[in-house]
Amino acid sequence: MKTMELEKPEFLSQPEYMTEEEFVDWYDEDVKAEFVDGEVILHSPVSIHHDSIGMFLGWLLMTYVEKNNAGKLCGSSRVQIRLRPGLRREPDLMFISKDRLSIIRKNHVEGAPDLALEIVSPDSLTRDWREKYYEYEQAGVKEYWIIDPEAKRMDMYHLNEHGNYELIPLEKGKLHSHIFPDFWVKSEWFWQEELPNVLEVAKELNLI
């Protein structure tokens, strides 16, 4: 029996170039891609551990945001941010504070969110540690969190009064966010084969 071949999207090969308008028309929920000045960057599927970290941290942040009526958290639905004309990124998680919800559009966020979080994959090493670091800094993203499971490293950067990122120091094994009062994480959580029980962590953070 002959196997039916699935038809690939017209622009699926990489790298591909198109206008931003063409990208917006082409992009849909079946494709994970970003757009940088005409180039389409297709993303590889993430690992189970990568996905678990995103769900774990997303649940904690969502609980915090809802409890404090702080704004809106986006992530797993593949929401893009348009940092400037010609530059569309898709962080693993992002947060927009309550007083800035007007930047949320129907299918994307127009401008810098308050927080962008990236979980590093093998194919995103340079993008997350270098390219997005400078793009988020220049766009005015207040905090940038990077989790690199392979290197067992997590950094939190906070935008200072001069518009430059400063590394948030580790305090007694914890990284404390500047935009979420009383919210902190232990980077060691993410290097374990099995992540901690999310409910126990939520209790430790006084979220429940």
What pLDDT score does 101 carry?
Answer: 98
Q: What is the pTM of this model?
A: 0.89
**Among 148, 154, 193, 152, which Cα is nearest to 176's?**
154
**Among 142, 158, 123, which Cα is nearest to 50's?**
123
pLDDT in tens, 77-94: 578 999 999 999 999 999
Both ends of the chain: CA-CA distance in Å? 56
Mean pLDDT (whole number) for 44-58? 92
Domain ranges of the chain: 46-204
Q: Alpha-carbon Rg of the chain, whole angstroms?
A: 18
Alpha-carbon span 27 to 43, nearest angstrom: 13
Mean pLDDT (whole number) for 7-29? 71
pLDDT in tens, 125-177: 888 999 999 999 999 999 999 999 999 999 999 999 999 999 999 999 999 99
Cα–Cα–Cα angle for 205, 164, 109, rounded to 5 degrees: 65
What pLDDT score does 42 carry?
Answer: 87
User: How many other C-beta atoms are found inside a 10 Å radius of the C-beta of residue 32?
Assistant: 14
CATH of domain 46-204: 3.90.1570.10
* pLDDT at position 43 over 90: no
Q: Check residue 192 and report its DSSP letter.
A: S
- Asked if 84 and 62 count as a contact pair (C-beta separation under 8 A), the reply is no
* Separation in Å, CA 84 to CA 40, 74, 106, 147, 195: 16, 19, 17, 25, 36
* Separation in Å, CA 114 to CA 37, 72, 76, 97, 144: 23, 10, 17, 6, 9
Residue 173, Ramachandran bin (φ over 0: left; ψ between -120 and 50: alpha; else beta): left
Long-range contacts of 162-168 (CB under 8 A, 24+ apart): 163/137, 164/137, 165/133, 165/137
What pLDDT score does 76 carry?
Answer: 63
The two structure tokens encoding residue 144: 């940038």
pLDDT in tens, 183-208: 999 999 999 989 999 999 999 999 99
What rounded mean pLDDT belongs to the chain?
90
* pLDDT at position 14 over 80: no
